[in-house]
Amino acid sequence: MRLSKLDLNLFVVFEAIYNKRNLTRAAEVLNITQPAVSNALARLRRTLNDPLFVSTPAGMMPTPMAENIIGRVREALQMLDSSVHEGDVFDPASSGRVFRLSMSDLTEALLLPALGELLQRHAPGMHVRSYYTDRREVPTALANGSVDIAIDAPLIDDAHLHQAPLVRDRYACMIRHDHPFKGNILSMADYLAMGHIHVSSRREGSGYVDAELARLGQRRSIQMRVQHYMVAPLIAMRGDLALTAPVRLLQRYPARILELPFELPDLEYYCYWHRSVDRDQGNQWLREQLMRLMCDVDPGAP
C-alpha cells in the first residue's frame, strides 16, 4: 500500500479509538459523528486487513496488530503536528496554549510558585496543567501528547525522548526548634533514637533513606507514613518526629536543619520531552523557563 493512497486522517481516528476504547467517546473527542468514526474504522480495517479493535463488555479492545502499531502511529502524528506548527512564531505574551506537565508534589512545591509568577508577567494567557504520571507511563504519555514535559528522576531510558538535567539537591534532617535534641551535630545513634516521618505514595515498602540505612546494617523507627512531601514538614514542626528530605524543601520552613550522620546520594531531577516536539517553539520556551527557574530557586526563600 502506497502512502499516497492512504488517508492519514484514518490514523487520527485510530488513535482516538485506542485512547477511549469507545466509538462514541472517540467521536466526541474528534468532534465528528459516531457513524463517521465507524466508517473510518471500517476503511482502515480493509486497508490493513485486520479488525484492529474487538468489541467486548469492557470496550473496544485492540488486537495484537493495533498494539504493535500504536506507538509508531502516535509518534508519526506528533511529528506531523509539530511540523505543521514548527514555522509558527511563538509569542508567550499572546499565547493561549495549554501545557501539561508531569511532576511530583515535591517538584510542584519547588517550581510552580515561581512558574506561576513568571506566566502572570510574561504569558498571562498560557495555561498549565500539572499532575503525576507513573514513571513507566511517561514515554507513552509524552509520545501521545497527553504530557508535554515530564520532570522525574534520571531513571527513564527511551530512545524517543530527549532529556536535560534540571536540579540536584542533597538530603538533610529537619526537626523543630524546641526539639528535645539540642545538639548541632547528629550522630547515627542520635538519628536512630528519633521517630521519623516517611514520605511515600505507596501503602507499604521502604524508601530511599531506608535502603541506604539497610546497606549500613541500620534501621530507623518510622512512626508516621504520609503520601505527600508538603504535609511532612508541618508534622515535624508540631512534634518530635524528624523528617529527612531535600534541603530545598526543608529550608522553606522555620525549623532546624541538621546534616545526616551518613552519606546519602543526592536527589536528581531531569526534564524529559519527546523528540517530535524538540523544535516546537512553545515547548522549547517552556523548557527553558523551567530550567532557569529551578536554577534560580532560592533554597532559603520563605
CATH number at residue 188: 3.40.190.10
Rounded Cα distance between 219 and 217, Å, is 7
Give domain status of residue 301, yes or no: no
Tell whether 73 and 58 lie within a shared domain. yes
pLDDT (average), residues 33-50: 91
Tracing cell 485510530 back to the chain, one arrives at 14
In order of 21, 60, 70, the CA distances from 37 in angstroms are 12, 13, 17
Q: What is the pTM of this model?
A: 0.70
Rounded Cα distance between 216 and 164, Å, is 32
Tell whether 124 and 273 lie within a shared domain. yes
**Contact residues for 68 (Cβ-Cβ < 8 A; gap 6+):** none
What pLDDT does residue 298 have? 46
Task: Say how many residues make up the chain.
Answer: 302
Rounded Cα distance between 52 and 17, Å, is 10
Tell whether 148 and 192 lie within a shared domain. no
Tell whether 211 and 254 lie within a shared domain. yes
What confidence tens digit (pLDDT) does each residue in 60-112 have?
999 999 998 888 888 777 777 766 655 567 899 999 999 999 999 888 988 89
What pLDDT does residue 30 have? 86
Q: Domain limits at 189?
A: 171-265
Domain count for the chain: 3
Tell whether 251 and 175 lie within a shared domain. yes
